[in-house]
Amino acid sequence: MQLGDARSGKLATNIAAFGRALRRAGVSVDSARIVLGVEAAQLVGVERRDDLGAALEAVMVGREEDRLVFRELFDAFFRDPGMAQKLLAQMLPRGEGQSEPVKRRPRVQEALAPRRPGAAPATHRPDEEVRFDAVMTASDQQRLRHADFNALSGQEYRLVERLARDVALPVPTVPSRRTAAGARGARPHWSRAMRDAARTGGELMRLPRRVRRRQPLPLLVLVDVSGSMERYARLLLAFLHAATRHGGRGKCDVFAFGTHLPDLSAAFRLADTDEMLVAAGHAIDDFAGGTRLGESLAMLRARHARRLVGRRTLVLLITDGLDTGEPEVLERELAWLRRHSRRVLWLNPLLRFAGYEPLARGAQVLHRQAHGMLAVHNIDTLDQLAASIAAVVAR
């Protein structure tokens, strides 16, 4: 069915408006996908609503985790002819036992909310700057501190990302080989003693000692960037960069893993967190793909084994454990990583569920090989992360 000239008809306008709504809901939709949506609608026609929805979904959605958001927003945006009857039914007196209105996802509610007059369009983000205003009261901030990262709307996610950048992560320290002057120590500091004696005419008034300096443990961070971990990965990368970017924090190597192992250490050396996220996005070419942790760890052992510093490195493995590779390979590589590091800590966002048990094959291997499993699904768990890491390292 030909729908006429898209320049004069309303089809292109409606699909463009739908694309903007998807963008407000956090779905990555550019102008090229909107044009493909118009062409797909012209090919399949508008006689069957299901066919139109499937055609638009095929060309406008590129990530598996956005499909449910697309379908819910499509149902709300392109209403069927019976919607008027449903709206009239909602205006009538309701009897007891009647079902409540369907609750939409936060991202869909934000996309369907009416925009304020004079507000900037969704595509215009001059500085990507988000500030708390009078609407964000103390109770709102407290709620966001306990909210799961995956259940936030687009605006709430940006606010929580800013909050995560202010969370500190003091890494446990250990004595290093280098020494410094101190009040107590096992050996005298003779060079300092001679300098002090020169100031007092050759008299040695006190004998300074040498103490071992303390330095933070080297960090090796492995971040899962598969589809189920997408929202957690971006926020945790911003958190770790802000917590480790200042001087004196020790050595930190960062890798992302999905189907292979891109190195993000160069991006982490950038001073600005937003620039780091852009550089990491360019370095990761399998974002929101599958998870093959065993093969990624094999690549780490073959190419980057020297990043592990003398069995002192603290490994932070951020994943939900939904691995699609062979469990035997994962078992072998995790056993090697455990032998060559100080501690292997599994940071698991699925611990947000009460009574969570590692039932997946990859999760069972991680549960056996990791020294500890910690939660990282909201701001409160990030606040407690440093104390939890210190407790596992001390144990």
Spell out the domain ranges in the chain.
11-83, 177-215, 217-394
Q: At what angle do helices 138-146 and 154-164 cross, to 10 degrees?
A: 90
Predicted confidence at residue 236, as pLDDT, reads 92
Which pLDDT value is given to residue 45?
A: 85
CB count in 10 Å sphere of residue 95: 6
Spatial separation of the C-alpha atoms in residues 163 and 25, rounded to whole Å? 21
What are the pLDDT digits (tens) for 82-130?
A: 443 444 454 444 444 444 455 566 666 666 666 555 554 444 444 444 4
Burial of 129 (0-12, 13-18, 19+ CB in 10 A): exposed
Beta-carbon contacts of residue 134 (< 8 Å; ≥ 6 apart): none
Q: What is the rounded distance in angstroms from the CA atom of residue 323 to the CA atom of residue 345?
A: 17
What was the pLDDT predicted at 9? 55
Q: Is 357 exposed, middle or buried (0-12, 13-18, 19+ CB in 10 A)?
A: exposed
Instruction: Give strand pairing partners of 209.
Output: 182, 188
Please work out, in degrees rounded to the nearest 5, the angle formed at the alpha carbon of residue 136 by the alpha carbons of 130 and 141: 95
pLDDT at residue number 139: 64
- The predicted model scores a pTM of 0.64
The answer to whether 283 and 256 are in contact (CB under 8 A) is: yes
- Tokens encoding 187: 């050996």
Q: Report helix, strand and coil shares of the chain as percent, to nearest 5.
A: 50, 15, 40
- Separation of first and last alpha carbons in the chain: 70
Q: Which residues pair with 252 in a beta bridge?
A: 219
CB burial of residue 281 (10 Å; 0-12, 13-18, 19+): middle
Q: pLDDT tens digits, residue range 331-386?
A: 999 999 999 999 999 999 999 888 888 888 999 999 999 999 999 988 999 989 98
Which of 363, 370, 358, 266 lies closest to 314 in space, CA to CA?
Answer: 370
- Taking only the tens of pLDDT, the chain with its 395 residues reads 333 343 445 778 888 888 888 888 778 888 888 888 888 988 888 888 888 999 999 999 887 778 888 888 888 877 754 443 444 454 444 444 444 455 566 666 666 666 555 554 444 444 444 444 444 555 677 788 888 888 887 778 888 888 888 888 888 888 888 888 777 777 888 888 888 888 888 888 888 888 888 888 899 999 999 888 888 988 999 999 988 875 446 789 999 998 889 999 999 988 888 899 899 989 988 776 778 899 999 999 999 999 998 788 999 999 999 888 899 999 999 999 999 999 999 999 999 888 888 888 999 999 999 999 999 988 999 989 988 888 888 87
Determine how β-strand 252-257 pairs with β-strand 187-188.
unpaired
Q: Residue 67: how many CA atoms within 13 Å on its side-chain side?
A: 11
- CATH level 3 topology of 217-394: Rossmann fold (3.40.50)
User: Cα separation of 351 and 377, whole Å?
Assistant: 8
Question: Can you tell me the distance from the alpha carbon of 253 to that of 264, in angstroms, rounded to the nearest whole number?
Answer: 8
